[in-house]
Structure formats: C-alpha cells, structure tokens
Amino acid sequence: MKNIQRPYSIMTLLTFAIAVVSISFTLLVSAILFSQFRSSIRENATVSTREIVRQVNANLSYYTNDILTIATYARDLAKQTTTMKSSDIEDRLRAIVDSRQDIVCLVLFDLEGNKLLSTSEAPFRQASEITEQMWFSRALGGEGNFYFTGPHVQQLFASSYPWVITYSQQINYMNPNGDLEQGLLLIDMNFWAVSELCQSAKLGSSGYVYFIDNNGKIVYHPFQQLINSGLFNEDLDSVQDHIFGTFTNTFEGRERLVIIDTVNNARWRIVGVAYMDELMAGLNQYTAVMLLVLAFCIITTIIIARSVSAYISRPIKQLERLMNSVERGDFSAPPTVGGNLEVAALSQTFAVMVKRIRQLMDDIVKSQEMKRKFELDALQAKINPHFLYNTLDSVVWMAEQNDTAGVITMVTSLAKLFRVSISKGRDIITLSEELEHVRNYLIIQQMRYRDKFEFSIEMEEGMDNLPTIKLIIQPIVENAIYHGIKYLQEMGHIDIKVFRRKPAAVVIEIKDNGVGMDEKQLNTILSMASPSHKNGTGIGVRNVHQRIQLYYGSDYGLEISSELDEGTLVRLVIPEQMPIQPIKVVHS
C-alpha cells in the first residue's frame, strides 16, 4: 500500500523557502567575498615579498656599487706610481680599509701573482698558489673585467684564513719606469656584510633569501651549513627553470612562493622563498571570523524566516482553529481574523457563512420546538377529553343515586379544574394555582373511586407565587392512581410536597404507596421508545418530562424512584424564578 505523505504546514514551507533563499544568497556572497579576499591576500603577499626581495637586491646593488667605486679609486691610484710613492698609495688604501669594517684588505698583483700593493702586512703565499685561485683566473681577460666570488676561505696569507667574498678585476697600472702594465686588483670583504643584508629580510617566520651564480651554484644561503651536512635541501632545479620572475611550487610538502631577481654588477641572482601557509595566515583568521559571521547570519536568517512565516501563517492558523471549532459544533460568532487582505477577506466571508448557518440552525430549532410544543398540546387535548368523559360519567351515576351534595362538589371541582386548565391562554401559572388544580383533580378522583385513597398537599412558605408550567402535577398524580393505588386492597396515600432545593431549584414531590414498578419499567418510563401504558398515562408522564426540558433545559425534568410493593416517588425539578401575579381563580 502506497504511503500518503503528510502535507507540510504553511509556516514550515515559508520558513524553508525563506531560509533556503536567504542562506543560498548568503553562501554565494560569502564565497565571492572569500574568493576575492583570498586573491587579494595572495596578491598582497606576493607584492610584499617581491618588494622585500627587491629591497635586498637594491641594498646589495648599492653595496656592490660602493665596492666598484672603491675599486675605481684604487685603480686610479695604481696609475699614479710615477708621481706618488708606493707607500703613500698603500697608506691611502689602508685608510679606506681602516674606515670600513666590511673590507678585509686591498691588494694589487701583477699577472704572475706577485704582490705590488697591499693594505695587509701579513706574508703572502707563493705567486703560483695565488694565480691558481678562482678569483684570479676568472678576472683575467682584459681591463675592466671583474668578478665577485661567493663566500670562501681566502688563501692569500700563510697564517690567516678569513671567510670572505672577493672582488677581483684586471686593471692597468703604472710601473716605476712610467710604463703601463696589466695587473689584478683584489678586494676582500667580510662575509657578514652580505649576510646581514639577507638576514634582515623577513619573509614570514621561516622564509629566507639566498644567492646563486649564473651556473646555478649557491653563492650564499642562510642554511648553508645545514645544506652541507645534508639536513636541509634547496629546490635549485625549479629556480634554474625560471630565470627571472615569480612562481609557486610545492617542495617537501609545503607550498612556496619563489621570487627571483638579478643582482646588478655581481652577476648573481637573488632568490626569495616565502611559505604560503605563513603568508596566508591572515586568511585563516579571516576564514574563522567569516565562518562565525556566516553561522550567525544563518541562525539569524532561520529565526527571522520563522518569525516572518509565523507572522504570515498566524492568521491562517487562527482561521483554521475557528473552522475546527465550528466543525465541533461551536457556532458562536467568530471574531474577525486580522493579517493580510486575503486572510481578512476569507475570515469575513467565513464569519458571514457561520452567522447564516447559525440563523438557519436557530430557525430549525425554533420550528422543531414549536412543532414539539404543538404535539404536546395536542396530546394534552387528547388526555383531557378522556378525563372529562369519566368525570361526567361519575356525575351521572351520582345523580342517579340522588347524591346531590356529591354532584355539587364534583361539578364545582371540575369547573375550578378547567378554569385553571384554561388559565386565560397562559402556559405559566403560579405554584398555588397548579396545586389548586391538582387538589380539585384529586377531589374528583377521590369521589370517583369512593374514598379509595387519601391525599395531602404541603408547600413551603413564600412559594405561592413562584411560576411553573401548568398541568405538570396532574399527569403524575393520575399515573399514581391508575397504576399504583387502583390495585391496592388497603387505603392508598398520595402526598404532595413543594420545597426549595439548592441551588435555585423548586422540587415538587409526589409520593404514593401503590404497587410500584420494577427496574425495567423504571428505566423505560421516560424513554421515547417505551411502550404506551393503559389509558395513555405513560404518555402523560413523558409529556411532563419533555415539556419541562423544553421550557427549562436538560438540567431539569423528572426524577423517579420506585420499588415493587413499596410505592413510587416522583420529583419534578424546575428552576426557581421571580414570582408572578396569579390568575383570578375562585377557591372552594
């Protein structure tokens, strides 16, 4: 069997629709902003790193230009040997060395490796050993050709081995005879001078800058010792594939930003390495903040969506509750439901419909009540002629017996009885008038049955003018006579008492000592489906019960208790109302 899915409420659908649209829009905007911010951070990080590398390059270029200036000054001095003593030239060069901590020494060699001028007084190695060194051989090739070495242990002196970077250049100098000859100028610089330029460059917390020569060999690296010991590796292959510019790659599990620039004069390339996870650290913070803001926006969106949907669906739910109430039978005037125009219009239409239904139901109830009242009146009309016939028959019998007093009493009681029955067309009479009516009825019946029963009537003080429906006691008394006392061998008793019962009720109690009823008769006597009793008296009892409930409601009516051979007790319960004026009735 196919399951039928339960439809969702308007509030749920509205909440879902608003939330989906709003959250989708929020996610789309967040994704765009995140992508733009990520690109911006990446671009800014690249620009910032490139500027740092360029600054290092500028500082290094400035330093090399300074060295070239010193070299030019030294070359010019070397051409003045005819006018200046060698010792004076050395003093001037030594003054430069003494004024700068980064320069170790300046030396002028001839092409055979022999020292010509020097700022150092330390003994030099053999000329053959000097000419074998790389800085010597690389600088040869013509005047003006110069060469910068990487950091190395200088082998000039037999007793000193400084860690330097060497600048070497082939120059022309003037010998003491005044002839120009070829020589080689050397300037040794402390390694830390270049090292400080690189170490001052901060590319994140673990980024660094290093130099390589045209052959791809490392000139300077901050982790040179780790590289030599095999504890650190450098991605030189990728650098060789990119002569100049910026690129990113992943090396040993970390994405890196690599920037390559060419160092002027030194024929070196400067390489800056920055790690993207450090450069993009701000993105992680931004992402965390953005996720919190996004979560807040989503929660706020759901709350707002639910509030808006509740506001929209609240009038519809109110209208639904009113409709359910009407479905359960509550046709009281429904209040007008507010909200949007459509719901308000629907509510007004529904209110008009309920009002019309209520009017139709009231008309039906009234017509049914009138119909029932007419039926009860017609039934009462059928009962009275029967009683009249029996009474007149008794009068004829007493007249035949020359019982003049009895005839007068019976006829007088009958006249008073019918005068109350007519009651000038009124259905409501006083309790005293109703008791007067039943007293006359009992007098007539007592004479008919030749004193077969006795009766008593009692009423609390102050209840004489309380209103009641007329002719509600007589049918009960008639039932007691015909079905209870009529079959007794001993004297029958009928006691009628009228008293108040809280809250605000009047009780008319009729008690007899007749034959009584069994439980089956007791349960069915007031039922509409119960069979008619002899002489229609059962119909009269139901008539009284229905008339009381028709006038006063279902809380009132007859209460009957009975036992076989014990008698029957009937209580008529009606509401206590304001006293009324009695009808002018002649009392005996």
Task: State pTM to two decimals.
Answer: 0.48
Span of 21-35, 186-200, 331-345, 374-388 with lowest mean pLDDT: 374-388
Find residue 209's DSSP bridge partners.
272
Nearest CA-CA partner of 107 in 151, 164, 63 = 164
Find residue 115's DSSP bridge partners.
109
Mean pLDDT of 5-17: 70
Answer whether 432's CB lies under 8 Å from 459's CB: yes
d(CA 151, CA 526): 127
Label the pairing between strands 567-575 and 557-563. antiparallel
Answer whether 79's CB lies under 8 Å from 185's CB: no
pLDDT at 509 over 60: yes
Nearest CA-CA partner of 469 in 561, 394, 573 = 573
d(CA 241, CA 239): 5
pLDDT score at 191: 77
pLDDT band (50, 70, 90) for residue 431:
very high
Residue with the two structure tokens 């790690």: 275
Give, in degrees to the nearest 5, the angle at Cα 298 between 297 and 300: 65
pLDDT score at 143: 62
d(CA 408, CA 398): 10
Read off the tokens for 149: 């070495």
d(CA 496, CA 455): 8
In DSSP notation, 565-584 reads TTEEEEEEEEE-----PPP-
Average pLDDT, the chain: 80
d(CA 405, CA 408): 5
pLDDT band (50, 70, 90) for residue 21:
confident
Question: Which tops the pLDDT comparison, 466 or 447?
Answer: 466
Question: Which tops the pLDDT comparison, 209 or 312?
Answer: 209
d(CA 506, CA 466): 9
Q: pLDDT digits over 47-80, tens only? A: 888 888 888 888 888 888 888 888 888 888 888 8
Residue 339 exposed, middle or buried by CB count within 10 Å (0-12, 13-18, 19+): middle
Nearest CA-CA partner of 435 in 477, 481, 404, 401 = 477
User: CATH assignment of 79-194?
Assistant: 3.30.450.20
Sketch the domain layout of the chain as residue ranges: 79-194, 364-575
Q: What are phi and psi of 498, to 5 degrees?
A: -125, 125
pLDDT at 200 over 80: no
Nearest CA-CA partner of 340 in 363, 303, 311 = 311
% residues pLDDT > 90 (the chain) = 10
pLDDT band (50, 70, 90) for residue 261:
confident
CATH class of 364-575: alpha beta
Label the pairing between strands 453-459 and 492-501. parallel
Residues 6 or more apart whose CB falls under 8 angstroms from that of 25 comprise: none
d(CA 537, CA 390): 14
Q: pLDDT digits over 304-359, tens only? A: 877 887 777 777 777 777 777 777 777 666 666 666 677 777 777 777 787 788 78
Give, in degrees to the nearest 5, the angle at Cα 75 between 71 and 76: 120
Question: Which tops the pLDDT comparison, 273 or 14?
Answer: 273
pLDDT band (50, 70, 90) for residue 422:
low
pLDDT score at 1: 44
Count of other CB atoms within 10 angstroms of residue 430: 21
CA distances for 449 relative to 485, 513, 567, angstroms: 10, 16, 19
Question: Which tops the pLDDT comparison, 542 or 194?
Answer: 542
Question: Which tops the pLDDT comparison, 270 or 420?
Answer: 270
Q: pLDDT digits over 453-508, tens only? A: 999 999 999 999 999 988 889 889 988 888 888 888 889 999 999 999 988 999 99
